[in-house]
Amino acid sequence: MCDKTPATLLTLPIDICYRILDALDDLTIISSVRNVCERLNVITDTYHRYQ
C-alpha cells in the first residue's frame, strides 16, 4: 500500500496550475474555475492574464 497523497488540482504547485490555465480560454476560466473554491479564486486572482 502506498501512503502518498494523490495530486489534485488543489494540491498542485501554483506554477503548474498557471500552465493549465494557459491552455484555457478566458471564458472557460471564468465559467469553470472561478468561484469553485477559495484556492482556485486565489490562483485566478494572481494569474498573469488578469493582472
Q: Per-residue confidence at 32, pLDDT binned at 50, 70, 90?
A: very high
Say what percent of the chain tops pLDDT 90.
69
Considering only residues 15 and 51, tell me which one the structure prediction assigns the higher pLDDT. 15
Whole-number Å distance between alpha carbons of 35 and 45: 11
Q: What mean pLDDT, rounded, does the chain reach? A: 89
Burial call 9-46: b when 16+ CB within 10 Å, e when fewer: eeeeeeeebbeebeeeeeeebeeebeeeeeebeebbee
Q: Is pLDDT of 25 > 90?
A: yes
Give the per-residue pLDDT at 5: 78
